[in-house]
Structure 1
Amino acid sequence: MRFAIKVTKWMGGLMVALLVALSMGVFVPRPLASPAEASVGDGTQILLLANPIHTDIALPVDDEVRAAFADLAPSGLPVDMPGVEYLIIGWGGRSFYIETPTWGDIRPLPVLKALTIDRSVLHVSVAGPIDPAHPTVRPLAVTQEGRGRMIAAIRASFVRDGGSPVAIPGTAYGFDDAFFEAKGAFNAFLGCNTWTAAMLRAGGVRTGWWTPLPQLLDLSIDLHHDA
């Protein structure tokens, strides 16, 4: 009985600590690398895409984006395919990301790795028009300079061999995407959404200190980003 009471108290204390950490992570803003870029709005726009557990960044494809990510084309990613308007990039745990293309593909081992620690990958895909008014899409205004820094930060996330990103053969969901080796280890506390937040901050979008869920990242942008 005493052991059960101690375990209950320990679990209660852990939950309180987690709630405090989440609250501080959302409500306390994280400083930008370039404070002068905190106020944006010169007409340049990127998109934040979200599902219940994951976020991606969608970059409008123009000459700058094509040039910056031209080294992804040898992997078979059709960056220059007619009709491509967005390059969509996300970071995540290798096992869960690669082995779970749909909710119906969820299996215990990838979930376990996602909740503990796993190697990381970058998933890059191309898309045509995206409706900015869709509930899963959030447009964000950034400066040209800010977008350039965001692109540089995303490029720096790729593992490279001889200067080229390292593609992972046989892992694509379809013809319009590819997986690449990424820097950093994935875990439940520092996962896909904290990576997305870091890329957004590189572009001048202020977020909270710790936003492990899409909903928390979205709320922190509401609170701290001066658009």
Structure 2
Amino acid sequence: MKKFLKITLSVVLGLIAFIALYLMAAFGLSKIAVEAEPAPAQTIEIYILTNGVHTDVVVPIKNDQIDWSKEVKFENTVSKDTTAKLIAFGWGDKGFYLNTPTWADLKFSTAFKAAFALSTSAIHATYHKQLVESSSCKKIAISEEQYARLITYIQNSFQKDANGHVINIKTNANYGETDAFYEANRRYNLFYTCNTWANNALKACGQRACLWTPMDKPIFAKY
């Protein structure tokens, strides 16, 4: 019995120590800024957008460099509306996206699988006609060369089929009439969250970002 209690105490103390170290790292490393690189001719406007928990990266649907709608098709949305000008990309745990429409629907099994990389991931793509800057929506101007890097980063986040096309997830779990889900690479975990993905997207195109963060607020604090 004493041996069992010692083991239990060690596990509990270890868990507490892990949580404390994780929170310290999340707070400390998110305060350290990666500065934006200088770039001439910053002619392309992108956005970062948060719902208070999760960060999306928003880009033009079409310009001379890429037409996202050729792969991330309007027809995969409920509305099939082709008049949108912007598309938001968010990466995250597939279970969260498809099985947790509200926090009230969150199950322990979903959270546990997400935290410890036991689930697969998905990209949530949402079309927007326009965005208005606010505390939860920040506009960033980047160059064509920087956008080329961001394009590569986003494209590499999609899982592709044998023919190199993105894989639409057929589901009724859409958040609205202008969004769709796609299979994604990597697995969500405590150290690589939806916000880590978005923060890394900013790094990929040479913009101000956190050294590392699992949260959205430190990203927006930089803007």
TM-score normalised according to structure 1 size:
0.79
Does structure 2 conserve the Cα–Cα contact (< 8 Å) formed by 1:124 and 1:179? yes
- Distance in 1, matches of 2:116 and 2:195, equals 16
Match of 2:111 in 1: 111
Which of 202, 205, 214 pairs up with 1:203? 205
Match of 1:163 in 2: 164
Does structure 2 conserve the Cα–Cα contact (< 8 Å) formed by 1:66 and 1:79? no
Match of 2:122 in 1: 121
Corresponding pairs, count? 215
Amino acid at match of 2:215: L
- Distance in 2, matches of 1:213 and 1:197, equals 9
- Distance in 1, matches of 2:201 and 2:170, equals 26
The alpha-carbon distance between structure 1 residues 79 and 86, as it changes in their structure 2 partners (threshold 3 A), is farther
The list of structure 1 runs, each at least 4 consecutive aligned residues, that deviate by more than 6 angstroms after superposition, is 4-8
Which of 14, 18, 21 pairs up with 1:17? 21
Which of 172, 178, 181 pairs up with 1:179? 181
Q: What's the Cα RMSD here?
A: 3.0
Which of 188, 193, 199 pairs up with 1:191? 193
Aligned ranges for residues 92-111 of structure 1 at < 5 Å? Answer: 92-111=92-111
The alpha-carbon distance between structure 1 residues 111 and 11, as it changes in their structure 2 partners (threshold 3 A), is closer
The alpha-carbon distance between structure 1 residues 20 and 90, as it changes in their structure 2 partners (threshold 3 A), is same
Match of 1:87 in 2: 87
Deviation, 1:38, is 0.5
Match of 2:132 in 1: 131
Q: Which runs of 5+ in 1 are unaligned?
A: 32-36, 223-227
Match of 2:46 in 1: 46
Match of 1:225 in 2: none
Deviation, 1:197, is 1.1
The alpha-carbon distance between structure 1 residues 82 and 25, as it changes in their structure 2 partners (threshold 3 A), is same
The alpha-carbon distance between structure 1 residues 38 and 147, as it changes in their structure 2 partners (threshold 3 A), is same
TM-score normalised according to structure 2 size:
0.81
Q: Sequence identity of aligned pairs in percent?
A: 25
- Distance in 1, matches of 2:104 and 2:65, equals 33
Amino acid at match of 1:92: G
Does structure 2 conserve the Cα–Cα contact (< 8 Å) formed by 1:79 and 1:87? no
- Distance in 2, matches of 1:121 and 1:187, equals 13
Which of 26, 30, 41 pairs up with 2:30? 26
Please list the CA deviations of residues 49-102 of structure 1 after superposition, one character each: whole Å capped at 9, or x if unmatched.
112321101113333476244122286248984430210110000111111233
Q: Which runs of 5+ in 2 are unaligned?
A: none
